[in-house]
Chain A
Amino acid sequence: QVQLQESGPGLVKPSETLSLTCIVSGGSISSYYWSWIRQPPGKGLEWIGYIYYSGSTNYNPSLKSRVTISVDTSKNQFSLKLSSVTAADTAVYYCAREVYSYGYDGGYYYYMDVWGKGTTVTVSS
């Protein structure tokens, strides 16, 4: 089955750019939406954004000016860049797959069914 694995530096200096990659194994990235979610220590989940395999993106407005999500279908992976980081960006970062089911009412019901294990990123000098 599909598995996701995040990778990237665990420590980033303030004002620098956080860069993470999520490798998709056991299936093709060439379908569905691919998301980034983060969780500050002891807090809840925050959706960062997602990318469709074709390259179209959707970002959380609260982070939009600093976020870039990209996809590399040849490597079956997608990436997150978050610029100008501060201590408030310290969190566990998860990648996830968002899929949909077609409902009887004609709606498309989206949900995140596969998650990576998460990677801890600390912003500190």
Chain B
Amino acid sequence: DIQMTQSPSSLSASVGDRVTITCRASQSISSYLNWYQQKPGKAPKLLIYAASTLQSGVPSRFSGSGSGTDFTLTISSLQPEDFATYYCQQSYSTPRTFGQGTKLEIK
């Protein structure tokens, strides 16, 4: 199985801040990397697929980059509704695997 490791596990930030979350794969996965946002009690929501393609309807303050083993999710200017947990997920192979999550909290 491909192991996905996110850092940090938690992060405190303020509205308006620029935030970066990192995801590392245990082997090269090219650009087969997706990012999801999950709010408490809700299902995950797709933000970015293929490492850098913004899902329709997702605000442009979200962006993704990377290829191979190292990837980043950046939120350019945090909004109150962005405080949530973020997961990366590889779709290079099965079983599909997720990172452990990064909880983004209000400072």
Interface residues of A (CB under 8 A from B): 35, 44-47, 49, 58-62, 94, 96, 98, 101, 103, 105, 107, 109-113, 115-118
Contacts A103-B31, A111-B50, A113-B55; A44 near B99 (Cβ below 8 A): yes
Interface size on B, residues (CB 8 A): 26
* Contact assessment for B49 and A111 in the assembled complex, using a CB-CB cutoff below 8 Å: yes
Chain B residues numbered 22-50 whose CB sits less than 8 Å from any CB in chain A: 30-32, 34, 36, 42-46, 49-50
Contacts of A58 in B (CB 8 A): 94-95
What is the distance, in angstroms, from A50's C-beta to the closest C-beta of chain B?
8
Q: Nearest 9 A-B pairs (CB), nearest first?
A: A111-B49, A115-B43, A109-B50, A110-B91, A47-B96, A60-B95, A45-B98, A111-B34, A58-B94
| CB of B74 closer than 8 Å to a CB of A | no
Give the distance to chain B from A11, nearest Cβ to Cβ, in Å: 19
